[in-house]
Amino acid sequence: MRTAIAALLTLLCTAATAADFPSKPVRMIVGFPPGGAVDLVVRTIQQRMSAALGQQVVIDNRPGAHALIAGELTVQAPPDGYTVLMGDFGMLIVVPVIQKAPFDPQKDLATVGQAVSLQNLIITHPSVAAKSLKELIALAKSKPEGFNYATSGIGSPGHLAAVLLESMAGIRLTHIPYKGGGPAITDLLAGHVPVFFSVISTGVPHVQSGKARGIAVTGSKRAEAIPDVPTIAEAGVPGYAATNWYGLHAPAKTPAAIIERLNQAMITALKSPDIIESLKSRGIDAAPSTPAAYAAYMKSESAKWSRIIRQSGIKSDGS
């Protein structure tokens, strides 16, 4: 009898908490420094989500350890909806395969919904002689050790895109991992690294300004923001395609009603015409989904990429 009463009281307290949610600001953790693509997405939707929730969404950048620091902070937070994480493909799918992670993203994080999908973009410093993908591949083949290329980190979508290109084009490249897209693009523009497999939103402004050269996008279609830049498949590697995505998460055991409230606020933001256009101008597609649909998508992506990651022999640097 006491057990039943306790369970009922817990249920009533949870319902009351969910009904009052949110009654204070919501912290959205980002596993990368300002200036990168994940940070761009959350800052684009921040104010619209705040308005939908009736409370301020506060962004908390916690870079490091392939975004595991941000993920662990979220996992350890109370499951009350006041701490959420904008998770990225790398931390959610790749990192658990290449190193021992302190948590299981698919068990210890609740899915709120997918937020966006986006491609990667191969960009070069203007001093690089290659002006097309075919010329870049030829340049790589002329160098036994390959040439250096930057990404936002080991196991990042850009890293996987490069590994897939190496395999399909029969070339060898030398990976220079950074701790985010912001530091990587800074070094590319300064000429310290010749090539960057960039998240598209990071590279687009610099291609448009002429400070960097767009070689190819990694998805199955050209990006509206840079329509003259071909896909890798169009540019000489038939069948190639690699895409990226981000999604919103909360700690496991967060009440379903709170998850739904967060999901609706995110969808409201991502379906706003001005938000859609703002993201599209950087090559990002709004792709909001339900919690269940996002969980199923994560599972399918994990099955697809785990095999490729293991075959490639990617190992974490432990940072």
- CATH number for position 191: 3.40.190.10
3-state SS assignment for residue 20: helix
User: Are 94 and 147 contained in the same domain?
Assistant: no
DSSP secondary structure code for residue 239 in this structure: T
Tokens 């491609």 sit at which residue?
Answer: 119
Do 124 and 106 share a structural domain?
Answer: no
Q: In terms of pLDDT, which residue wins out, 312 or 216?
A: 216
Q: Indicate the pTM of the whole model.
A: 0.81
Tell me, what's the pLDDT at 317?
62
> Domain check: are 200 and 141 in the same one?
yes
Backbone angles phi, psi at 160, to 5 degrees: -65, -40
CB of 67 closer than 8 Å to CB of 155: no
Q: Is residue 109 part of a domain?
A: yes
Of all residues in the chain, the percent with pLDDT exceeding 70 is 93
Q: Across residues 113-119, what is the average pLDDT?
A: 95
Residues 136 and 190 in one domain: yes
110 and 56 in a common domain: yes
Q: Is residue 319 part of a domain?
A: no
319: confidence class by pLDDT, cuts 50, 70, 90? very low
* Residue pointed to by tokens 């690294």: 193
CATH at 305: 3.40.190.150
- Picking from 181, 201, 217, the residue at the C-terminal end of a domain is 217
Query: What are the structure tokens assigned to 45, written together?
Result: 């939707």
| pLDDT for res 154 | 82
Q: Which of 153, 182, 217 finishes a domain?
A: 217
Same domain, 100 and 134: no
Residues 29, 70 share a domain? yes
Query: Is residue 303 situated within a structural domain?
Result: yes
Do 103 and 61 fall into the same domain? yes
Query: Which residues form the domain of 180?
Result: 119-217
Question: What pLDDT is stored for residue 249 in this prediction?
Answer: 98
pLDDT digits (tens, 9 = 90+) for 229-284: 999 999 999 999 998 899 999 999 999 999 999 999 999 999 999 999 999 998 89
Give the pLDDT confidence score for residue 131 in this predicted structure: 95
Are 123 and 193 found together in one domain?
yes
Is the model's pLDDT at 6 over the cut of 80? no
Res. 308 pLDDT band, cuts 50 70 90: confident
Residue the block writes with tokens 């992506």: 301
C-alpha distances out from residue 202 to 6, 32, 87, Å: 51, 13, 17
Check whether 15 has a pLDDT greater than 70. no
**260 or 304, which is more confident?**
260
**Burial class for 165, CB neighbours closer than 10 Å (0-12, 13-18, 19+):** buried
What is the tens place of the pLDDT at every residue in 19-77?
A: 799 999 999 999 988 878 899 999 999 999 999 999 999 999 999 888 899 999 999 99
pLDDT bucket at 313, cuts 50 / 70 / 90: confident
Q: Tell me whether residue 231 is in a domain.
A: no
Contacts 24+ apart (CB under 8 A), 227-234: 229/121, 230/133, 232/122, 232/133, 232/165
CB 66 within 8 A of CB 262: no
Residue 143 predicted with pLDDT over 90 = no
Residue 1 has pLDDT above 90, yes or no: no
Q: What is the pLDDT of residue 177?
A: 92
Look up residue 158 and give its two tokens.
């850009």
Boundary of a domain, candidates 217, 232, 267: 217
Q: Where are the alpha helices (DSSP H) in the chain?
A: 2-20, 37-53, 68-76, 89, 95-98, 105-108, 133-141, 157-169, 181-189, 200-209, 256-270, 273-280, 291-312
Same domain, 105 and 69: yes
The one-letter code for the residue type at 39 is: D
- pLDDT, residue 7, reads 45
Q: Tell me, yes or no, whether 7 lies in a domain.
A: no
Asked whether residue 238 is domain-assigned, the answer is no
pLDDT tens profile 194-221: 999 998 989 999 999 999 999 999 999 9
Burial class (CB in 10 A: 0-12, 13-18, 19+), 64: middle
Lowest mean pLDDT among 128-132, 168-172, 309-313: 309-313
Number of domains in the chain: 2
Has residue 249 been placed in a domain?
yes
Q: Average pLDDT, whole number, for the chain?
A: 91
Q: Are residues 86 and 76 in the same domain?
A: yes
Residue 222 counted as domain residue: no
One domain, residues 112 and 127 = no
| Residue 182: pLDDT over 90 | no
